Amino acid sequence: MQDFKEFQSVEFQCYQRLLKAEGFGFWEWVPEEDAVHLRGGFWRTLGYELGDSESVVRVSRLGEVIHSEDWHGFLKTTARVLGRGHRMQQRVRVRHSQGGYFWLCLDGEITRRRDLQISCVSGIAFDVSSQQELEQRLQKSEERLMRILDSSNDGIWEWTEALGGFHFSDRCWQQLGYDGHDDAMLMGRNRLEVWRELIHPEDRARFHQHLVDHLKDDSTFDLEYRVATKSGGWCWIRARGQCHRDGQGRAVSMSGTNMDITELKHTEERLVFAREEAVAASQAKSRFLSSMSHELRTPLNAILGYCQVFAMDSALSEQQQQSAREIRKAGNHLLQLINDVMDLSRIEAGQMSLSQEPVLVSRLLEECLTWIKPLADVRRIRILRDYGVLGEIYVLADATRLKQVLLNLISNAVKYNRESGLVTARLQASTGALRVDIEDTGRGIEEARQAEIFEPFNRLGAESSAIEGTGVGLSITRQLVNSMGGEMGFRSTPGKGSCFWVTFPSAADQEPAVEQNLSDAEIEQQPGLGDAPLRVLYIEDNPSNIRVLKQMLEAWPQVRLEVADEPFYGLYLARTSRPDVVLMDINLPRMDGFETLLFMQQDPCLQGIPVVALSANALPQDIERGKAAGFFEYLTKPVELPQLLAVLARLKVGGQ
Ligand code: ADP
């Protein structure tokens, strides 16, 4: 008895401690009463004064302590539980006696009598505010995530070892045209297997390999592949994912997204197609232009060749000589037009390859000015130089193209100048660059038309004047200058004159290259042919070209010209008569000029004979190819007699 009492007393003290503790509150309600009995220290912490050891809240006044937003749900749940249940658990916001609300979890047992009437409902209550807040934050962040994923239109997939396999979000299926209900789609089958079957057969192995590699060594999982759609088409998917590993580095899950990139792929395909078409069109244009250039140069060779013959013919009257000069001028104009069109199309196609070498601008200016002087003299136009201390400055440019630029500006300054006018070539320093001004005292350019000046083939009305031109020069000039890293501009006052300027980056720390190309003036200073005989074999199939060259060289009897109108005969003649030099056309029947040259290079009998190409294939790449193949020189048609003589003279000097 004593023991039992002791036990009771220990138990009592234990309950006492529990009641005093602040973590839980105890409550009890007997249906016949209006009071809910609250016991325990917990209630006190919430501001509910306990009487001796308990406090009472009235059922009829519960609505005053429970948050209005939770009240309806509380009543509904309570009614349901009281009706049939034996356990209740719900969360409600309860008013703190000091104001404000906290989240309360009510966990209770329903005790029923034999007739199932409730005798008592009792349980515990505890504060779940922080848990509730955490859950709400989690829910909000999940909702935000879902909103982002929904708006990105991406599907999500996940593989978790623990959850047994793959899961695809509805969006993944919707991208393929299905209504998106995963389970209905699969009919119990493994999701990954179903997905694999839908992958395009050509992409399946790649998909598999990416997955295996990623799981093995974390290589990037980012691939594009096709998946069959419900309607029988293909959906392009960009899949990106990342696996997650446990402490031992074993992949335990992987998640990622599927982005529908079908539209993007179609656009890409259209772009590729459009690009291919554009490239094909541009190649066709280049082919057309180069064959046009070749076809026009061939008759021009005869026209300009005979003009040169006439110029040497003392039997012709002055009037006939004048007519020949007119024909030659027209022929040269046509040739210029061909060159300009070729240049323009090569620049537009990005095929103009320009070198960047240190070039002494004053030297090129001098060459151009010397070249243009006779033209200026005819119209009594004076040429002034204003180089100051900048005559020694090198710029970075392509020497040939820089010369083309300067020549165009200077010849315009002379062409569009007035009689007895002035052309000034000036050098000026500009930041990191050298600026060249070509100023004239000509008619200037109307303000209203200045914007059109760089338009190709636009001569701003000069076409109705006697001044020759194609209207392409400035357009080419500006593109060349820009391609060489420079700038170009002009100012013009109608009636007073214009100043065109170009800048080029200065080659401050670059070593100037040794200049190898001979200037026109230097060509003219070349040694003459001398009196010793020079045996020349000309391999050419075009009779008119043969006739014109024969007549051009008639004035040089020391040149013994032999002709072969096809390459095999040419090789035979070369073997038998061993000429000093072979002039070779390129477009020959049965075997072209390159093949014939190769033949000669491999034949010990012919190896030492220099071969000069004489061709209407006049594109820079033709010339480069010719030089690389081993031609001694590559001359283009129409043949310029002084140039040909200079080459022959060089050969003679070299051969002696
Ligand atoms: P082209 O001289 O062959 O006609 P350009 O492209 O060099 O072609 O020049 C285009 C046009 O700009 C010329 O036809 C001419 O009307 C005008 N132009 C060019 N340079 C000058 C200049 N220095 N003075 C006046 N007009 C010029």
307: left (phi over 0), alpha (psi -120 to 50) or beta: alpha
Query: Is the CB of residue 490 below 6 angstroms from any atom belonging to ligand 1?
Result: no
Chain segment 638-654, per-residue pLDDT in tens: 999 999 999 999 887 66
402 and 502 in contact (C-beta within 8 Å)? no
Q: What is the mean pLDDT of residues 448-463?
A: 92
Predicted model pTM = 0.54
Query: Is the CB of residue 442 below 6 angstroms from any atom belonging to ligand 1?
Result: yes
Nearest 10 degrees: Cα torsion 504, 506, 510, 512: 70
Q: What is the mean pLDDT of residues 603-630?
A: 92
Query: Is the CB of residue 477 below 6 angstroms from any atom belonging to ligand 1?
Result: no
**489 strand-pairing partners:** 501
In the prediction, which pLDDT does 235 show? 96
Query: Is the CB of residue 488 below 6 angstroms from any atom belonging to ligand 1?
Result: no
Higher pLDDT, 160 or 69: 69
CA dist 201 and 227 (Å) reads 9
Tokens representing residue 8 in the block: 């009771």
**Sequence-distant (≥ 6) Cβ neighbours of residue 386 within 8 angstroms:** 424, 425, 426, 427
Reported as a pLDDT band with limits 50, 70 and 90, residue 516 is very low
- Give the distance (Å) from ligand 1 centre to CA of residue 459: 6
- Give the distance (Å) from ligand 1 centre to CA of residue 412: 6
- Give the distance (Å) from ligand 1 centre to CA of residue 398: 23
Domain boundaries, the chain: 2-134, 153-260, 357-505, 527-655
Q: Give me the percent of the chain exceeding a pLDDT of 90.
A: 55
Query: Is the CB of residue 416 below 6 angstroms from any atom belonging to ligand 1?
Result: yes
In the prediction, which pLDDT does 412 show? 96
The C-alpha angle 362, 363, 365, rounded to 5 degrees, equals 60
**91 strand-pairing partners:** 105
Parallel, antiparallel, or unpaired: how do β-strands 422-430 and 433-440 relate? antiparallel
- Give the distance (Å) from ligand 1 centre to CA of residue 496: 15
Query: Is the CB of residue 409 below 6 angstroms from any atom belonging to ligand 1?
Result: no
Query: Is the CB of residue 441 below 6 angstroms from any atom belonging to ligand 1?
Result: no
Domain 527-655 annotated CATH 3.40.50.300: no
Residue with CA closest to ligand 1 atom 20: 412
Sheet holding 534-539, edge to edge: 559-564, 534-539, 581-584, 611-615, 633-636
pLDDT for 521 beyond 70: no
Q: What are φ and ψ of residue 353, in 5° steps?
A: -95, 125
Q: What are φ and ψ of residue 418, in 5° steps?
A: -90, 165
Q: Which atom of ligand 1 is nearest to the CA of 459?
A: 14
CA dist 571 and 569 (Å) reads 5
pLDDT for 525 beyond 80: no
Q: Which of 40-44, 233-237, 329-333, 416-420 has the lowest mean pLDDT?
A: 40-44
Q: What are φ and ψ of residue 515, in 5° steps?
A: -80, 125
Parallel, antiparallel, or unpaired: how do β-strands 251-260 and 234-245 relate? antiparallel
Query: Is the CB of residue 412 below 6 angstroms from any atom belonging to ligand 1?
Result: yes
3-state secondary structure 461-478: CHHHCCCCCCCCHHHHHH
Q: Which atom of ligand 1 is nearest to the CA of 463?
A: 14
Query: Is the CB of residue 77 below 6 angstroms from any atom belonging to ligand 1?
Result: no
Query: Is the CB of residue 462 below 6 angstroms from any atom belonging to ligand 1?
Result: yes
Distance from the Cα of residue 642 to its chain's centroid: 47
CA dist 290 and 584 (Å) reads 20
pLDDT for 656 beyond 50: no
Does residue 638 have a cis bond before it (omega within 30 degrees)?
A: yes
For residue 417, which of 435, 442, 392 has the smallest C-alpha distance? 442
- Give the distance (Å) from ligand 1 centre to CA of residue 472: 9
Query: Is the CB of residue 469 below 6 angstroms from any atom belonging to ligand 1?
Result: yes
The CATH number of 357-505 is 3.30.565.10
3-state secondary structure 512-544: CCCCCCCCHHHHHCCCCCCCCCEEEEEECCCHH
Tell me the C-alpha to C-alpha distance, in Å, between residue 226 and each of 54, 196, 223, 263. 71, 11, 10, 12
Higher pLDDT, 520 or 220: 220
pLDDT for 247 beyond 80: yes
Neighbours of 599 (CB within 10 A): 16
- Give the distance (Å) from ligand 1 centre to CA of residue 471: 7
pLDDT for 185 beyond 80: no
Parallel, antiparallel, or unpaired: how do β-strands 357-360 and 394-397 relate? antiparallel
Would you say the CATH fold of 527-655 matches that of 357-505?
Answer: no
Higher pLDDT, 301 or 620: 301
Three-state secondary structure call for residue 25: strand
In the prediction, which pLDDT does 531 show? 82
Pick from 62-71, 90-99, 417-426, 548-557 the range whose average pLDDT is largest: 417-426
In the prediction, which pLDDT does 164 show? 65
- Give the distance (Å) from ligand 1 centre to CA of residue 470: 9
- Give the distance (Å) from ligand 1 centre to CA of residue 359: 26
pLDDT for 391 beyond 70: yes
Q: What are φ and ψ of residue 216, in 5° steps?
A: -80, -55
Q: Which of 49-63, 161-175, 456-470 has the lowest mean pLDDT?
A: 49-63
Query: Is the CB of residue 423 below 6 angstroms from any atom belonging to ligand 1?
Result: no
Reported as a pLDDT band with limits 50, 70 and 90, residue 1 is low
Chain segment 399-437, per-residue pLDDT in tens: 888 999 999 999 999 999 999 999 999 999 988 899 999
Query: Is the CB of residue 25 below 6 angstroms from any atom belonging to ligand 1?
Result: no
CA dist 568 and 591 (Å) reads 8
Tell me the C-alpha to C-alpha distance, in Å, between residue 599 and each of 93, 572, 589, 603. 103, 12, 15, 6
CATH of 2-134, one of 3.90.600.10, 1.20.140.10, 3.30.450.20, 1.10.1040.20: 3.30.450.20
Query: Is the CB of residue 473 below 6 angstroms from any atom belonging to ligand 1?
Result: yes
Query: Is the CB of residue 476 below 6 angstroms from any atom belonging to ligand 1?
Result: no
Distance from the Cα of residue 140 to its chain's centroid: 42
In the prediction, which pLDDT does 37 show? 87
pLDDT for 523 beyond 50: no
- Give the distance (Å) from ligand 1 centre to CA of residue 393: 28
Query: Is the CB of residue 445 below 6 angstroms from any atom belonging to ligand 1?
Result: yes
pLDDT for 478 beyond 90: yes
Q: Which atom of ligand 1 is nearest to the CA of 461?
A: 16
Domain 153-260 annotated CATH 3.30.1380.10: no
Query: Is the CB of residue 398 below 6 angstroms from any atom belonging to ligand 1?
Result: no
**Sequence-distant (≥ 6) Cβ neighbours of residue 304 within 8 angstroms:** 328, 331, 332, 335, 638, 639
Higher pLDDT, 626 or 291: 626
Q: Give me the percent of the chain exceeding a pLDDT of 70.
A: 93
CA dist 353 and 356 (Å) reads 10
Residue with CA closest to ligand 1 atom 2: 469
